[in-house]
């Protein structure tokens, strides 16, 4: 399936590559103590897109970001920015800038001086420093706080200053290493919107590192899911969520129900599946996968794609319900074995949740059952 990005949509054609990574490897240590942090990673990040590296701690995403930035050098492979090979070049020789988890603002400087510091170090004329600083203050909506020092502003405001400082030299690529991790939940959500706005207004390519699935799905044009130094799947958030490439991606991106199933029949590009308890459903076949009758497969059903239905194919018993405000999760034990989570949105039409011990039947939305590759 062809990837699309916001940059491609805006310009009507596929955007040119900004960062090209080919079979990139990074090994730390020697001999038996050697650790392969990146294992032949190949990616293309398009000009003007918001691209996210997503994965658990230790998957290699920050190592990859540091290689792009120039803080580390690759053990093997190629890395190009705007068509230029940058392996061996230091951070100051690359058209990139980085925002870290720790904002590293200078405590003795004002907000305006922090923003203009990098421009001064580059030897830009004073008039340009003043004009760019004023522009960045407007961009991050901090004009009224230009004369304050970092200790006099909030954590979210400090992050905006760090972003403004990194954007001021107008890098081709802005690298963001989990910059929202220190913020509380409400502020983090606000800053997700703010980051997306800044990226859209500046047109700069953003490469964002996070382990937070919601951040990745909310902000990204495309996402690369990583595990154990490899990229498992790259695509738009909707593609990653709705058509995960394997069990790891399906499990890592959002809540997922995994069920064992037996192939009852295959017709065209779909298969009839027998689920726990004898329920029968149809599922589309992933490209290149052609199971035979009697094969055992694993299927996924997202919690929000099921519903309580008196004539539904799945049956089970409610074990407990968990209230989340906007929705309620019902934890079920299916007939024939297997746990299942059902997510119900809490609306005026929903009259509470079935009590623990209740018998229920579940319907599944058309196209919601997905067969996973091994």
CATH no. of 47-69+95-250: 3.40.50.300
Q: 369 near 306, Cβ under 8 Å?
A: no
Positive or negative, the CA dihedral 263, 264, 269, 275 is: negative
Give domain limits for the chain. Answer: 47-69+95-250, 255-371
374 residues of the chain, pLDDT tens digit each: 334 444 444 444 567 899 999 999 999 988 888 899 999 999 999 999 999 999 999 999 999 999 999 999 999 999 999 999 998 899 989 999 998 877 788 999 999 999 999 899 989 999 999 999 999 999 888 899 999 999 999 888 898 899 899 999 999 999 999 888 877 888 888 888 888 988 998 999 999 999 999 899 999 999 999 999 999 999 999 999 988 988 999 999 988 999 999 999 998 888 999 987 788 888 888 877 888 899 999 999 999 999 999 888 889 999 999 998 888 999 999 998 889 999 998 876 666 788 899 999 999 888 888 888 76
Q: 314 near 361, Cβ under 8 Å?
A: yes
In this structure, CATH architecture of domain 255-371:
Beta Barrel (2.40)
Separation in Å, CA 250 to CA 209, 242, 257, 276, 371: 19, 9, 9, 20, 11
């Amino acid at each position: 399936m062809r990837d699309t990005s916001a940059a491609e949509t805006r310009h009507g054609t596929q955007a040119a590559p900004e960062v090209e990574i080919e079979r990139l490897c990074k090994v730390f240590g020697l001999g038996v103590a050697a650790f392969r942090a990146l294992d032949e990673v190949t990616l293309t990040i398009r000009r003007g897109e918001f691209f996210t590296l997503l994965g658990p701690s230790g998957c290699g995403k920050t190592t990859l970001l540091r290689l792009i930035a120039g803080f580390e050098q690759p053990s093997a492979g190629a890395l190009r920015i705007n068509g230029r090979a940058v392996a061996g070049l230091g951070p100051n020789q690359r058209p990139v800038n980085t925002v870290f988890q720790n904002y590293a603002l200078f405590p003795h400087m004002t907000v305006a001086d922090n923003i203009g510091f990098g421009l001064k170090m580059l030897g830009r004329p004073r008039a340009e420093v003043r004009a760019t600083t004023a522009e960045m203050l407007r961009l991050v909506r901090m004009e009224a706080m230009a004369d304050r020092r970092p200790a006099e502003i909030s954590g979210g405001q400090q992050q905006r200053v760090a972003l403004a400082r990194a954007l001021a030299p107008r890098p081709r690529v802005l690298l963001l290493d989990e910059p929202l991790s220190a913020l509380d939940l409400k502020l983090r959500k606000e800053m997700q919107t703010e980051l997306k706005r800044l990226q859209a207004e500046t047109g700069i390519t953003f490469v964002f590192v996070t382990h937070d699935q919601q951040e990745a799905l909310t902000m990204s044009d495309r996402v690369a899911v990583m595990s154990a130094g490899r990229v498992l799947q790259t695509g738009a958030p909707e593609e990653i969520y709705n058509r995960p490439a394997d069990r790891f991606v399906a499990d890592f991106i959002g809540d997922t129900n995994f069920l064992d199933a037996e192939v009852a029949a295959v017709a065209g590009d779909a298969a009839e599946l027998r689920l726990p308890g004898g329920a029968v459903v149809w599922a589309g076949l992933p490209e290149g996968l052609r199971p035979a009758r009697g094969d055992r497969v694993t299927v996924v059903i997202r919690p929000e794609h099921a519903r309580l239905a008196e004539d539904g194919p799945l049956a089970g018993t409610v074990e407990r319900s968990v209230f989340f405000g906007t929705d309620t999760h019902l934890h079920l034990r299916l007939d024939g074995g297997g746990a299942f989570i059902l997510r119900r949105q809490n609306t005026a039409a929903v009259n509470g949740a079935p009590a623990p011990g209740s018998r229920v039947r579940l319907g599944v939305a058309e196209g919601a059952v997905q067969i996973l590759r091994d």
